[in-house]
Each structure stands twice: as structure tokens, then as C-alpha cells.
Chain A
Amino acid sequence: MKIVVCIKQVPATNDAKIDPETKRIIREGLKAILNPFDTYAVEEAVQLRERFGGEVIVLSMGPEKAALSIREAVSVGADRGVLLSDRAFGGSDTWATSYALANAIRKIGDVDLVICGKQAVDGDTAQVGPGIAAHLDWKQATYVMAVEDASDDSIVVKRMHEDGYDICELKLPAVVTVVKDINTPRIPTLRGRLASEKIEVPVWKPADIGADLSKIGLDGSPTRVVRTAPPPPRNTVTKKISGTSAECADALIKELRLRSIL
């Protein structure tokens, strides 16, 4: 099975601090990491290859340093990676991003399965996976919590819904997006890490994937951010309550009543 895993490099929030004024997280100066949801996608692809054979190719679009995230995926078992990186890709929204990724998947060729994380933690849209499926006109399954079975020409997956779950069979090729429940991502071994430093990560430009320049980047993006504003700041004064448990409960009830919550 030839599997492409689409990944994204995102800002790490685990060493972020809280702004004492606004009580919100300071995002500036954060390290870049592999999107946490994508680690499940990589792991699932590697497990499928271990069971059924084939190849796992990691695909990402981003600045040149995103190659580090591709290497990270290789350190836990992916075979190789490709990076789409060019100024012309900059400013792409989910429509243009999924267009570029779909073109790269066509160029990789003979791909049976595309796996994406459920969403990226910076944008939180969950739109790129289904977008890729639409551009390729392949079947899709989102919020996949288990791969029940797979063969050369089909895959059986369990999808999570608000009111339960279902099990469905998709003839390949197909796109699936996976949730955290699906597996436990392995941690890179030293051997894997050292090997990942040695691989070449080819960088593809728009021309390499036959991209129509009017469909990528800012020009190819139907949506446009026209304004950003800080959200209303959190209450900067914390109301402190202490005392006996009964006193605490009473005081809290009063606060809730005061705000017409009860």
C-alpha cells in the first residue's frame, strides 16, 4: 500500500507563558513542532505498512524549516518525505492548500491512501483533509478512530460521530482523517533520529506539481482575513475565595447567582 501522510508544522504551545495582563497565552517566540494530531496519522500509516507492506511518504507545505517535521516523521518510521515550499504558496487558505497537496499527491503517483490528522492545532479548521479528497475526487472518511481492516483495494474504518460511531468500507484510493483514539504514537529512537538526519527532503515548487498559479497562495484563496483584533480580554482580576468548604460553596453559589447563571 502506498500511503501519503499530510503533515503541518505548527507553533508549540507547551512552553508558552500566560500574559499577566490579558491572561491569554503568549504565542510569540514559540518553537515549531509537528502538529500533535499528525503524529497519530504518521503512526497509523507506519502501522499499516508494517502489517500490509508498502511505502509511507510524508508530505507537507510550509517554509523550508518544515523539513524538520518531515524528518521527525521519518524518525518514527516514514520512508521519505516531500516538502512544498515556495513564496507562491504563501497565504494559501484551506482551499488553496488542499489544491496544492492534491496536486503533489498526483505527482507522487499511484497513491492508495492519504492520511491526515483530524485538524491542525493552529488553524483548527479540519478542512484540508476533505478538501484534498474533493480535489482528487476520492472517497473520504473523517474522524476515524480505528482502521478495522485493509487490503490491496479497500480499507475498513470506524468513524466517530456525535451520536456514536459507524464502520464503513472504502474502495481505494481514499482520504482518511484520524483522531487521537486511533493509536499511541511511538517516540523516535536514537537510531531513527540519526537516520532521519541523513535523508534528502526534496523541495517542490508550483511548477513541479503542475499547479495553476491562480489557484495557490493568496490569489488562489477564496477567503481573505480582512481584520484581526484581540479578543475581549479576560477579567484581569481573579476573585479569590477561601475558607471552610461550606463557606467556599456558599460564596461560589452567590457568585453564580450574581451572574444569573443559576
Chain B
Amino acid sequence: MRHHIENRIYHVEILPPKQDTEKLHEDLELFTTKYNRVKESGYCACITDNAMGLLAFQGPEVIEELCLKVEPSQVMIHLNTFHTKANLHEILDTCVAQGIKYLLIITGDGSDRLPKLTPADVGATDVQSVTSVELLRYIAKQYPGKFTMGVAFNPYEPQEHEFAKMERKMAAGAEFVVTQPIIEKNAIVDELLRKYPDVPVIIEAWMSKKLYLLSDAVGYEIPEDTEFDPIETLKQIHRDYPDCGVYLSLLGFKTQYHLISDTWVRE
């Protein structure tokens, strides 16, 4: 992951088609276009796992079914705890078969239809419910050497609690961190960098103009009248965090993509 930062490889989030889509084939085509564009740009495509609890097809199966080419350093798969054990192994086995190496392990959002992994499924005896920590530990044990796994960091949660969790995630085998989106320099993210100087940290940058969506996603209030220019904010993030990678969420492929080729500059 250090390689991604040194070579200024953006992490670009792509959502796979939703399960309830009425135009699956169009959606698959759009996914292919985005995936290939990210790949051709030399960036890393980050594919979500039922984001916000909305049922979608899985990144690895889409890649397999559509015969998309995988360059190991250019694909990252999100994986959360809302799966059956059989389904989890199917996803991981597909990742291995397709040569996918990077996983972002998160606890995730449930929904009515999504089953959750049980502690017994992942061989955890000391917990009531499975979080990213148990999932990480389980994958590290079941698939030794196969994956490079990262975890999420939320600077909007109570700090003490979040850092205690980060300690457990690191102990379980996390090798990189992706933060929740920030729109300015953040003291808690700074603290994270101080605590883990050797761990690659990827800052998530919010690329949508709709800040209220960010409020919903991270659960912290942003004043509605805040002026927000995503591209300028992105440039500022690079200036503030020159040693971090950047993860672009909700990037507009039509309106913004061509603008990011020269946002990541080094003085």
C-alpha cells in the first residue's frame, strides 16, 4: 500500500449494480466502463460491499462474470460482516482465483435481507457479535499470505473508543487504514498518524457536492450552508497530508474524473 502512496495511485470507489435494479445490463456496462477507466488511469478501483445496507452484487463475482482484467495492485474489495459463512468463502475464493489482493475489512451496515456472520462462523468465542476485528483475524488465519487487509477509521466516533478499536484491528492483522471522509485537516486523523507512523493511511475525500449525504454517512452534523468545492478540498487534503494516500468516494466520472489527473502534486 505504501507503493500506492509513493506512486500517487488514487483509490476510486465504484459501486457494483444493485440487486433490485431494473436495468441490470446497463448497470453492468457502466460498471465495466468505470472499472476499465480507473485501471487505464493506473488507479486502484475500490468496490463496495452492500454499501449502506443496500443489496448489490459482489465485486469479485462481477469481475469474474464479466471477465474483467485484474491487476493486483489496482483492485480493492470491501468486505463486511453481513454474509453467511458460505457466501464469505465464495467471495474470498473468487478473490484468490481472480488475483485480487487488497481487502478493506469493515463491520458494515445490515439490512432486512442481509444475514450476519456469527461468532461461531469465524471461530470467535469471546464476543457477542462479529466486527471487522474478528473477520480480519479469521481471514488472516484461513487465507495466510493471500491478502493485504486494511481497516476503517472513524474520526467522528468518541476518540478513546476508536483508538482502542484500532489497536485491536492492528493486532488482528490490519496493514493499512482508510479513514472516513474528512473535508479539512482533522486533529484526530493527525493523532492516528502520530500513533501509527509505519502504517499506510488513506484519507477518504468526499467528492460529492452534497454535504448532507456526508452528514448521513458519518453521522456528524455539517452546517447546511457550508461552502464546498470537492476538487479544491482534495488539493488541500494533499497539502495537509502529503504522506497519505487518498480514497475518492462518489467521484463524478463525467464531471470530475478528468480534473483529478493533476490534483495530486508534490512540492
Interface on A for B, CB 8 Å cutoff? 14, 31, 36, 184-191, 193-194, 197
B88 within 8 A of A: no
Distance in Å: Cβ of A235 to nearest Cβ of chain B: 28
CB neighbours of A185 from chain B (8 A): 113
* CA gap between A31 and B20 in the complex, in Å: 10
Q: Tell me whether chain B's interface is mostly helix, strand or loop, or mixed.
A: loop
CB neighbours of A193 from chain B (8 A): 19, 24, 57
Distance in Å: Cβ of A29 to nearest Cβ of chain B: 15
Question: CB within 8 A of A190: which of B20, B55, B62, B114?
Answer: B62
CB neighbours of B55 from chain A (8 A): 187
* CA gap between A185 and B86 in the complex, in Å: 12
Distance in Å: Cβ of B152 to nearest Cβ of chain A: 23
Take A14-B112, A184-B115 as given contacts and tell me if A191 and B84 are in contact as well, using a CB distance cutoff of 8 Å.
no
Q: What per-residue 1/0 map shows which CB atoms of B64-90 lie under 8 Å from chain A?
A: 010000000000000000001011000
Distance in Å: Cβ of A215 to nearest Cβ of chain B: 36
Take A184-B84, A184-B115, A186-B84 as given contacts and tell me if A191 and B19 are in contact as well, using a CB distance cutoff of 8 Å.
no
Distance in Å: Cβ of B49 to nearest Cβ of chain A: 12
Number of interface residues of B (CB under 8 A): 16
CB neighbours of A36 from chain B (8 A): 112
* CA gap between A31 and B22 in the complex, in Å: 11
CB neighbours of B162 from chain A (8 A): none
Docked-complex contact A191 and B65, CB < 8 angstroms: yes
Distance in Å: Cβ of A62 to nearest Cβ of chain B: 18
B109 within 8 A of A: no
Docked-complex contact B87 and A187, CB < 8 angstroms: yes
* CA gap between A216 and B84 in the complex, in Å: 42
Distance in Å: Cβ of A20 to nearest Cβ of chain B: 21
Number of A-B contacts (CB under 8 A): 31
Question: CB within 8 A of A187: which of B24, B62, B65, B113?
Answer: B113
Distance in Å: Cβ of A13 to nearest Cβ of chain B: 10
Docked-complex contact A191 and B87, CB < 8 angstroms: no
Docked-complex contact A187 and B19, CB < 8 angstroms: yes
Nearest 10 pairs of A and B residues by beta carbon: A184-B115, A190-B57, A190-B61, A190-B65, A184-B84, A189-B61, A190-B62, A191-B65, A187-B55, A188-B19
CB neighbours of A188 from chain B (8 A): 19
Residue in chain B with minimal CB distance to A197: B24
CB neighbours of B58 from chain A (8 A): 189-190
Docked-complex contact B112 and A191, CB < 8 angstroms: no
Interface pairs (22), CB distance under 8 Å: A31-B20, A36-B112, A184-B84, A185-B113, A186-B84, A186-B87, A187-B19, A187-B87, A187-B113, A187-B114, A189-B57, A189-B61, A190-B57, A190-B61, A190-B62, A190-B65, A191-B61, A191-B65, A193-B19, A193-B24, A194-B24, A194-B65
Distance in Å: Cβ of A161 to nearest Cβ of chain B: 26
* CA gap between A191 and B57 in the complex, in Å: 10
Residue in chain A with minimal CB distance to B20: A31
Q: What per-residue 1/0 map shows which CB atoms of B186-209 lie under 8 Å from chain A?
A: 000000000000000000000000
CB neighbours of B112 from chain A (8 A): 14, 36
* CA gap between A58 and B84 in the complex, in Å: 24
Distance in Å: Cβ of B161 to nearest Cβ of chain A: 23
Distance in Å: Cβ of A7 to nearest Cβ of chain B: 16
* CA gap between A36 and B20 in the complex, in Å: 14
* CA gap between A14 and B111 in the complex, in Å: 11
